[in-house]
Structure 1
Amino acid sequence: MVSPPSPSSSSSSSGLLTVNRYEPELISPAGDTPRELKPLSDLDGQDWLRFMLPLLLFYPQSPSMKGREDPARVVKEALAKALVYYYPLAGRIREGPDCKLGVDCTGEGILFVEADADVSLQELGDSMKPPCGFVNEVLCDVAGSGGIIGCPLLSVTRLKCGGFILGIRLNHAISNSVGLKQFLEAAAELACGASVLSQPPVWRREILKARDPPRVTCTHPEFEDTVDAGSAVAMSDLTNMAHGSFFFGPREVASIKKRLPQHLLPKCSTFELVTACLWKCRTIALEVEPDDVVRLSCVINARGLNVPRGYYGSTSVKAMVLSKAGHLCTSPLGYAVELVKKAKEMVSEEYVRSFIDASVIKGGPNHTTVWDYVVADTTKVGFEAVDFGWGKPVYGGVAGAVPSISIYVKYKTREGEEGIVAAIMLPERAMRRFQEELEKMTDKGTVSEDQYGVDSSMIRSKL
């Protein structure tokens, strides 16, 4: 149940804001929940999903709530109520034989951190977009909250303008972005006075388990062994990485589209165009040997394949395409676009089943990562619609990229221009080359050494 936070506090500063935090507390379900061990699906347990997914939602001041409600109290109480329905999220992930994951439904709860920051939402401006330079201030490391079996974490950071930042760090193995948004919507409904949920959660992880016997019927290069593992050493050094953020609005998309052959123009989506552009620029920037094989993995949501409404587990698979680095770098952009389209088109119900079976036959998670660039599109998930009573957030989505993975988010600039922000992480030297290649693609001039532009702004940070 919800209890008042300890008055003792700590503070930290990122240079963008200073945060004063109360002692962390555990928010457990507001009612009795079953104590049981619930197995995750064979899709949930994939190694590429075993990471903590950080998300931030930025809420403006609400005149109707001013002086009446404390957002931390409202969110805590709603969270406790929602955990009665989503009680596995209050448990702990355990790893069993053969690397299989399950959830021990202990009812322990979600760690909650209440805090105050010395800035207004207006002052934060475009620093809200990924990569967020102050994510560690609003989603601080709390003992027990890290790692695959760590505790989920949620925070509310009040701003001096009356708005607040909602931060979430949840293990991706138990729920993907769509499932997390469903959980937050449930809590928001309860915060706004609902007595029952409009969409009850559905567990049923058995529907995405391997067939008996498992059988691989499609081609899955993502599981194949590689012999060039020493080639990508530069991507493994996390002490010398730059984190970049790039905006693709109508102007950028139109500039890139001019590079396509006429037959691709009517049937090329923004996702396909941006992904092809980023993959090509990234490969050039990394200076991959021409004969090395580079890989693009599109994360495809397979929710339409007999998955019931309310299901909040992972329904995402990787669809991988390959190319010689030299061919990708020297060919027209249309070549990369065709490969992205091929990756999307290969995902059928049989592909999903074959993908799950392949992971089991391999004896556990065993995905190829050498020169692999993974992209995921969250622009249609709808985090920007989650309303706890303060209205919709001005931005809601992931806080940044992780090595080799870019996640696209919907974003509106301060000037009101809508588009996609793609965060990317690269070695520092490669990041400069990447930006130069991207500027060529979007017909922008070269920037100076200490300036990173406006629409393709980049925040660099040591990780």
Structure 2
Amino acid sequence: MPDLFQETEKRKSGSVGAMDDTEKKIQKAFFFGPEEMRTIRKHLPPHLHKTCSSYELLCAFIWRCRTSSLQLDADDIVRFSSTVSIRGNDRCVPLPFGYYGNSFAVPAVISKAKVLCESPLEYALKLVKEAREKLNEEYVRSVTDLMVIKGRPKFVGSSANWLVANTMRTGLEKVDFGWGVPVFAGVMSTPINPTSTFSRLRDVIAVPLWLPSSAMSRFQKEVQRLVGDGCLNDATAGMRSML
């Protein structure tokens, strides 16, 4: 069986974000409700409006804006990775009954920075969907074999790499320990700076981002230009989740 994971890693070995990662990074959360999501969806051709999930659409939109804000060289490589669960996945082998350990993989896609920023949103969406569709039984076995032989691959913690985890359907917002349901449920921070964890409370998706301070300012202006000021509202107005 070809080692699909290893071959993918070889193709990623180009110039990954040759930017100065020494600038101080800051974290800021952006909030996307129904109105913001409708506005983003309008940036797609009509025939694609119903072909993707809110998660895929928001990943594509943020990845593109995020890359633009970093002001990378045209030929620099940027990477998008998304955790994908193996549980209940028809393309993967069923897990043994009673297994309760980790059961996800993190497939990735890459693009040249200029191509991603100058292409329409559907290009980024196509890549995001491609990353998630990579997960099948062959890919999982390939990743497992490589980890057994060479150990766990190291995550490249560059700002040019963006790792996303989706916790919007974990049900954390319904957990009640006796004093009512939470106002917010999700990950407030991660030890890996280029990581975002999408979560949901009520009607709003919250997306925390780590970026160099100058890039964060540019990212905020770009998102405001495209979807308005609503994405900057505080979560206390009814946040539903974090991406």
Q: Same fold (TM over 0.5)?
A: yes
Q: What is the DSSP-based 3-state SS (H/G/I as helix, E as strand, rest coil) of the residue aligned with 2:83?
A: strand
1:454 equivalent to 2:233? Answer yes
Which has the larger Rg? 1
TM-score by length of 2: 0.84
- Describe how 1:30-429 pairs up with structure 2 within 5 A: 216-220=2-6, 223-224=9-10, 226=13, 228=15, 231-234=18-21, 237=23, 240-304=24-88, 305-308=93-96, 311-370=99-158, 371-401=160-190, 402-412=192-202, 418-429=203-214
Unpaired runs of 5+ in structure 1? 1-214, 413-417, 458-463
Relative to its length, the structure with more helix (as a share) is: 2
Shift of 1:325: 0.5
Match of 1:433, SS state, is helix
Whole-Å Cα distance in 2 between the matches of residues 342 and 295 of structure 1? Answer: 13
Contact 2:16–2:76 (Cα < 8 Å) also in 1? no
CA separation of 1:308/1:398 partners in 2, compared to 1, >3 Å: closer, same or farther? farther
For the 8 Å contact 1:386–1:392, the answer to whether it is kept is yes
Distance 1:232 1:317, change over 3 A: farther
CA distance in 2, matches of 1:375, 1:382: 18
1:216·1:355 contact (CA, 8 Å) conserved in 2? no
Higher relative contact order (CA 8 A, sep 6+): 2
One-letter code aligned to 2:214: R
Q: Aligned partner of 1:280: which letter?
A: R
Pairwise CA distance, 1:297: 0.5
Structure 1 residues 390 and 230 mapped into 2: Cα distance closer, same or farther (>3 Å)? closer
**DSSP-derived class of the 1:256 partner:** helix
Structure 1 residue 296: deviation in Å? 0.4
Q: Deviations over 1:90-139 (max 9, x none)?
A: xxxxxxxxxxxxxxxxxxxxxxxxxxxxxxxxxxxxxxxxxxxxxxxxxx
Alpha carbons of structure 1 residues 431 and 363: separation in structure 2 relative to 1, 3 Å: same
> Which range moves more in the overlay, 305-314 or 345-354?
305-314
Measured in 2, the distance between the counterparts of 1:392 and 1:456 equals 15
> C-alpha offsets along residues 310-331 of structure 1, whole Å, 9 cap, x if unaligned?
5432112111111110000001
> Hey, what's the Cα distance between the residues in 1 that align with 2:149 and 2:41?
41
1:382-431, Cα deviation, whole Å (9 max, x unpaired)? 1122232333323222113541100001024xxxxx12101000011100
State how far apart, in whole Å, the 1-side matches of 2:167 and 2:52 are.
18
Q: 1:404 to 1:309 in 2, by over 3 A?
A: farther
| Distance of aligned partners of 1:453 and 1:248 in 2 relative to their CA distance in 1, 3 Å threshold | closer
Tell me, yes or no, if the aligned pair for 1:223 and 1:367 is still in contact at 8 Å: no
One-letter code aligned to 2:13: T
Deviations 1:221-276 (A, max 9, x none): 66337353681432x55xx1111101111000000000001221121110111000
1:331–1:384: structure 2 CA closer, same or farther, 3 Å change rule? Answer: same
Q: Is the 8 A contact 1:281 1:437 kept in 2?
A: yes
In 1, the alpha carbon distance for the partners of 2:81 and 2:33 equals 23
Work out the CA distance in 2 between the residues paired with 1:232 and 1:312: 40
Q: What is the TM-score normalised by the length of structure 1?
A: 0.46
| Residue identity matched to 1:226 | S
Distance verdict in 2 for CA 1:420–1:230, change over 3 Å: closer
User: Could you say if the C-alpha distance between residues 380 and 335 of structure 1 is closer, same or farther in structure 2, counting changes exceeding 3 Å?
Assistant: same
Shift of 1:437: 1.3
The percentage of aligned residue pairs carrying the same residue is 39
8 Å CA contact 1:248, 1:455 repeated in 2: no
Q: 1:233 to 1:436 in 2, by over 3 A?
A: same
Q: Counterpart of 2:43 in structure 1: which amino acid?
A: R
* Alpha carbons 1:295, 1:323 under 8 Å: kept: yes
Amino acid at match of 1:290: A
Which consecutive residues of structure 2, in runs of 5 or more, have no partner in the other structure?
237-243
The 1-side partners of 2:37 and 2:17 are apart by 35
